[in-house]
Each structure stands twice: as structure tokens, then as C-alpha cells.
Chains A and B, each alone.
Chain A
Amino acid sequence: MNERTVAVLAGGLSHERDVSIRSGRRLAAALRETGLIVEEWDADSALVARLAARRPDAVVIALHGGAGENGAVQSVLEMLGVPFVGTDAGACRRAWDKPIAKARLVEAGLATPDWVALPQSIFRELGAQSVLDALVARLGLPLMLKPDQGGSALGAHVVRSEVELPTAMVGCLAYSDTVLAERFVDGVEVAVTVIDAAEGPQALPAVEIAPESGVYDYAARYTAGFTTFHCPARLEPAMAKSVADLAVRAHTVLGLRDVSRTDAIVPSDGRPAQFLEVNVSPGLTETSLLPMAVEEYGSTMGAVFRDLIERAIARS
């Protein structure tokens, strides 16, 4: 095992490149501590040639957003027959598109906030005001608006009044051509990492997210100290199990593989936990949630991903 060579893919061309670079650097360092030989590669025009010339035993994808999570890079790795840690290309495409993922999970009986997906073109074609009025009539206020694809809370807005809606829509559409509008759920935000193990997918301890500003936006995610985390989340045992089950089911229903992180909301009105979104390439930075969960679980990032690397190699 000490001779294993691994390529960590990080960077890319998405809006989350900066976060990805930091994730990749941290993961690479963690893997080196386990004795692996690790290189850090960008997903750029040299990648395919590099894979051919210096074929690693496995690739770990630390790309966030865009081609790293929508299945594109995964498709290339599958074409080249390179073992990689993470979800396969088809499942990535399902998970990456939030409306599609939510629809799949609703079919499977999971709870998720009521939603509408609206492409930019429909506002233009039918008239923005009429569509916005219909949206508010359907889902009420407050609303959670997000780009239908993307992470790191980029473009996400909580809208509490109709006056704010056009602004929030434009901010959202800066990141994607389609807006996912959800009924806002007041409650405690939690994140659950799921890791595939020999006995099946396992939920690690949930992380409870408490941003000082009340909004878990980009600054709150990536400025140390702006958010307080509780790991394990401060949930009653029954709710903690419910949240864990939700994440495992999301992982399974969507056909995810190796590692995923489900973000959920535990409503303050006592309703069951609701799925918000799932991430097939969770952040691995100093302020990210997966490393906290791994630490609470009693392991290390290096050990967890080393095992996943072995699983990836074994199935190739």
C-alpha cells in the first residue's frame, strides 16, 4: 500500500476553484501522511495526457462545482478506465441538478421543502412579474432561492419580502440559468457525511451549523470563527437517527458512491428533518464539515480516504 500513487484533482474552472484548491491541498497532505505518493493536478488541458503518461493507481476528485461534480470529469475517468474515488458520472448528473435530485428523493418518500425550478428564459417569455407573483402565491414567503446547480452558497438568497425577489433572482441567475425556489424552512441546519464501508453506507456524526449572522453564506462558510459548529449535532437521539437515515437514504436512492454529504434542515416546528441538497465532492478545507465529522467519528481524513482509494482500486 505504501507504493500506491494517487492524483488529487483540484482547482478546475468553476466558481469554487479557490475552495477546491484548498480542499485538494489539505487532502493531499492528509494522504501523504498515510504513506501514499500523492500528486496534485488541476483539471485542465494537460490532464488526459498526464493520466496517460503517469497513470496513478487512483484519482481522488477534490473539485467543487462544474465539471468536477456534474459528472463530466467522472465520465472522462470512466472512459480512460482510471479508478477514482467518488460517485459515477450518471449519478453525479442526478445529484448535481438540485431539482432532479429532490424529485428522485420525493419519489422515494424523503421529505424536502416544497419547490419550483424556474429557468431564466421563462421570466423573459412570460413576464417576470407574473411569474414572481405566481411563485409567491404557490410557495409563500419567505423563500430560499439557489442556483439549480452549484455549491458554497454562491448565489443563494433568503427572500423575506416580494420587494427583494427581483434582486435575489438576478443574484441567483449570475451563477446558473435556472433558479431553484424553495419554501423556506426555519430550523437547525445540519450536514451529514456518508461514507461507504464494507457493511454499506455509514453516516458519520451530524454537524450542526450555527452561523453568527444567521445566514450560512460564503463568508460564514470560509471565514474561521464566523460560524459555530456542533459535532455531534445537538439533537435528541431519535432525531439524530432520523437525520442520519435521511442522509444514508439520499446517498442510496441517488446511487452515490464512496462519499457524500447531505445538507438537511431540522424544522423548529417539530416536523421531520428535510433534505436540502447533497454534495458528491464535499469540501475538505479547514472550515469544512466533512473533516469535523471524521474527527468526531474518531478517524482522520487520510485514513478515511485511503480506505476509499482501496475500494476504488478494488472495483476497477
Chain B
Amino acid sequence: MTTPKREAAVSGRGRRSLDPHLSRYAQRTAGMTASEIRALFAVASRPEVVSLAGGMPHLAALPLDTLATEVQELIATEGLTALQYGSAQGAPALREQICEVMAIEGIRAHADDIVVTVGSQMALDIVTRIFCDPGDIVLAEAPSYVGALGTFTAYQASVVHVEMDDDGLVPSALREALAALASQGRRAKFLYTIPNFHNPAGVTLAVRRRAEILQICATHGVLVVEDNPYGLLGFDGQIYPALRSMESDNVVYLGSFSKTFAPGLRVGWALAPHAVREKLVLAAESATLCPPAFTQAVVSRYLAANDWKGQIKVYREAYRERRDATLAAMEQYLPDGCRWTHPDGGFYVWLTVPEGLDAKAMLPRAVTARVAYVPGTAFYADSFGSRQLRLSFCYPTPERIREGVRRLATVLAGELDLLRTFGSVHERRLPGPQSPSPDTA
């Protein structure tokens, strides 16, 4: 039998690469590949699966009838403005209202220093765009928000993770990280931090540490980017002082209506010192021309005409109930060797599974068992997090949450059985983090 022919009889005939642009892509697209882990989240959308993966707010708590009336009135009375292009910086009236929202957390700001964006994700994008050249360093908590890591990767910035504990970012770890960089002749452009009810870790930066963190960054000439989508969602109504309330010149604050109102509106903002704000406006303009006038108007009407603080209270109670169900179920069902955070606000619990298990490797088995979560490696830029996973309790009902945790426990039991059979999986980590899709961020 002859060996297979290696050279094409006619040069190029029948050859298909399926992507004629392969040689033209920018280097930053290197990680943009199909991922079996990402694909598994398509199953999470089925009702049979208890998805503890997505950070989707509990929108059933919204007064939709009232909102429908307000939107109808908006179009009837302000349609020509609401449906038209608007200011690149965002509607002035909304920016004033945003100042009132931020005042709850102690922030004193002028509306002129706010840039309204298409979600705070865009705010982070343009902040990174104006500060980071390829190879620049960004400091982020360990772990950090997957959407932020994706942004930093897109701009080819390098992420250095800094340790957290149950009280959030550890100041001494931050000092050490900065000192280590300095010893290499390098400097971080900014510290990206989620101080309140952290995504994914669920912890909150202790108030006593906040001034110290700011001082450390100021000393080292490192900007602080404070991302605070969950700050008003403390279950006991507790409000922690924003970093921006303690320091204005060296903090860029990112805010959002996604969790306090609704994510589908895509309205967020950046509050920045004047010079930074000017550049952000230009960057935002080049990305979107202007933020959506229509949804800004919806938000503005909502804030003016509704008890939005009362709505936040409704959300808080719903999330508290879900948090309680999650923690109780974890206590009841999870095997020895598991440990987890105990959030007092926000959406997430960060679970560490027993030594030797790999949360990413076990995800297919979890999907078979009809439960989904986000593996911890998604929240690190450096392949750490294999023993961790994020559970989101914001969306399912408490009953579904309990069932989901029960299913997860059976998966863990199966993994422990495999561990006993085959030994530790530390060496089994797949190379490189693979990000889940945006709707699980």
C-alpha cells in the first residue's frame, strides 16, 4: 500500500484554511479562540440546569408596569430628543443625578467630571485605553473580575495579581507587589479594585484599610481605578465609604446602574479628575459617538419619578434571601475540605474545593449533573484559581439555589472519588485561563 500523497497535485487545489484573514489579525487576538469551557455555558441557559454561573440581576423585582408607562410617556413627550444623537459626555441631567447617587457613598463630585458610558464595562475599557500601552502593568486583586481581565488583555496589558483575604486587598501585599516591580525597574499604571462585595470573591475591603491602600498607591504614583457596581447592595443597608470619597485626584471611579436598576439599559459612568475626564470623553466619542440617549433618558426618568432607593432595598432583600439559601445549602451539602466566603452584599460566593480537585476540569461533569458555575481560573490572568469557583446567587430562586448546591455536592463527591482513584490533579491544570462568555461575567 502506498503512503499518502503529501504534496498537492495542483498547488493549492482543495486547500481550505477557513480564515483568509489569519495573517492580518492584531497580536491581541491571539487568545480569541473557540473554547470548550465557554461552549459549556450554552447549556446553562436551559431551565433544567441550575445556573449558579451568571451574574444576572433579579429583574423580576422591578415594577415593569410602571416602567412601561414611563417609557411610553418618554417617547410621546421627548421622543425627538431621546431618539437622537446626544452629548458624547452624556446627558447633563443624568450626570447631575449620578452625583446624587454617588453622594450616598460619600462622593462629592461635579457633573462635569462624569462621563456616561455604555455600561461601566465601557468605562473600564476607555480608562484602560487611555492609560495602557502594550506591555504596561495593571495591578488587580487575586482574583479579579473576568470582564476586567478581558479588557486588560485586549489592550495587551500585563496583570499582576495582589493577594486578598476576607477583608479584601491586603495592603502589605500591595506594597510588596509594587516594591517587586520597582526592583525590576517597572511601574504599574493603575490598581484596579472592586472594594465592595467583590466579584468574584464576595469580600469587602475593610474600611480601616482603605486610606492605607490609597496612600500606598499615591506614594508609588499608581492611579486607583475603583469599580463599584455593588456598593449599594449591602444586605444590612450598610454603606462603605467609596475610595473616591477619600481621595479625588488619584482615583477614577466607575459606577453602573446595572445592578441597582437594570443591566439591559447599558448605562454606566466614569468619574475622573478633570484632565483624565477630557481624554475619556474623546475616547468614548471614538468608540460610540455618544452613549445611548434613549436609555439615559429612561434612567433619568426612573430616578426622578420613582423611589429608586426603595427599589434598591427590594433588591437587597431578594439578594439577602438568596445569599442565605446559598450559605445554608453549602453548609448542609458540601463535603469536608471546602471553604467559602461569606458575602454581606452583592451577588457572589467564592468557593474553594478540597485539595487535589480542579474546578475547571470538573465543569463538564457538573453540566452533566445539571448545575453550572464559573471556574476560578477565569478570574486570574496567570492560571491560578484551579481550586476555586464562583457561585452567583442573584438570579435563581432560593429553592433552585438549594438544589443547585446539592447537585454541586454530588459532583464534588464524584471528583473526590476520582481523586482517591487517580491521585492529585494539581498537574492536570489546562494551560492558560479561558474566559467564559460575557453573560457569565
Chain A contact residues, CB within 8 Å of chain B: 11, 13-19, 21, 42, 44-45, 120, 123-124, 128, 152, 154-155, 166-167, 169-171, 173-175, 187-188, 218-219, 221-236, 238-239, 242, 266, 268-272, 286-287, 292, 296
Contacts and interface: CB of A to CB of B under 8 A. Distances in A.
Contacts of B34: 218-219, 221-223
A17 B46 CA distance: 10
B361 interface: yes
B406 interface: no
Interface in B1-52: 1-9, 14-19, 21-22, 33-36, 38-40, 42-43, 46-49
A239 B364 contact: no
B438 interface: no
B364 A234 contact: no
Given A11-B42, A44-B47, A120-B421, 11 more contacts: A15-B36, A15-B364, A21-B42, A120-B418, A174-B364, A229-B15, A233-B14, A234-B5, A239-B2, A269-B3, A292-B16
Contacts, number: 142
B367 interface: yes
A228 B43 contact: no
A86 B236 CA distance: 58
Q: Enumerate the 8 nearest inter-chain pairs by beta-carbon distance, A residue then B residue, closest first.
A: A225-B19, A222-B34, A18-B42, A18-B39, A224-B19, A225-B22, A218-B36, A167-B428
A174 B4 contact: no
Nearest to A231: B14
Contacts of B43: 13-15, 17-18
B46 A44 contact: yes
B417 interface: yes
Contacts of A166: 422-423, 428
B336 interface: no
A167 B418 CA distance: 11
A187 to B, nearest CB: 7
B19 A218 contact: no
B4 A235 contact: yes
A159 B402 CA distance: 39
29 contacts: A13-B43, A17-B43, A19-B39, A123-B421, A124-B421, A155-B364, A166-B422, A167-B428, A170-B361, A170-B428, A174-B361, A175-B368, A218-B34, A219-B36, A223-B33, A223-B34, A224-B19, A228-B15, A228-B17, A229-B18, A231-B16, A233-B4, A233-B14, A234-B8, A239-B2, A239-B4, A268-B4, A270-B3, A287-B18
B206 to A, nearest CB: 39
Interface of B: 1-9, 14-19, 21-22, 33-36, 38-40, 42-43, 46-49, 361-365, 367-368, 370, 417-418, 420-423, 425, 427-428
Contacts of B18: 224-225, 227, 229, 286-287
A169 to B, nearest CB: 6
A229 B427 CA distance: 33
Given A13-B48, A224-B18, A219 B35 contact: yes
B43 to A, nearest CB: 5
A110 to B, nearest CB: 15
Nearest to B37: A218
Contacts of B418: 120, 170, 173
A42 B42 CA distance: 12
A167 B40 contact: no
B55 to A, nearest CB: 20
Contacts of A218: 34-36, 39
A268 B368 CA distance: 38
A234 B14 contact: yes
Given A13-B43, A44-B46, A235 B33 contact: no
A154 B39 CA distance: 11
A221 B14 CA distance: 18
A236 B423 contact: no
Contacts of B428: 166-167, 170-171
A230 B12 CA distance: 9
Contacts of B368: 15, 175
A230 B15 contact: yes
A154 B35 CA distance: 10
Contact of B36 (A13, A154, A233, A269): A154
Instruction: Name, among B7, B417, B421, the residue most crowded by chain A CB atoms within 10 Å (CB to CB).
Output: B421
A13 B370 CA distance: 9
B36 A236 contact: no
Contacts of B16: 228-231, 292
B111 to A, nearest CB: 44
Contact of A266 (B4, B7, B42): B4
B408 to A, nearest CB: 15
Nearest to A166: B422
Contacts of A188: 4
Contacts of A171: 361, 428
Nearest to B417: A124
Instruction: Name, among A18, A124, A174, A225, the residue most crowded by chain B CB atoms within 10 Å (CB to CB).
Output: A174
Contacts of A128: 421-423
B4 to A, nearest CB: 5
A296 B36 CA distance: 29
B361 A235 contact: no
A239 B367 CA distance: 41
Contacts of A13: 43, 46, 48-49, 370
Given A171-B428, A174-B361, A271 B4 contact: no
A286 B20 CA distance: 13
Nearest to B39: A18
B208 to A, nearest CB: 43
Contacts of A268: 3-4
A232 B367 contact: no
Contacts of A272: 1
A170 B422 contact: yes
A123 B5 contact: no
B129 to A, nearest CB: 26
Contacts of A227: 17-18
B425 A175 contact: no
Nearest to A295: B16
Contacts of A231: 14, 16
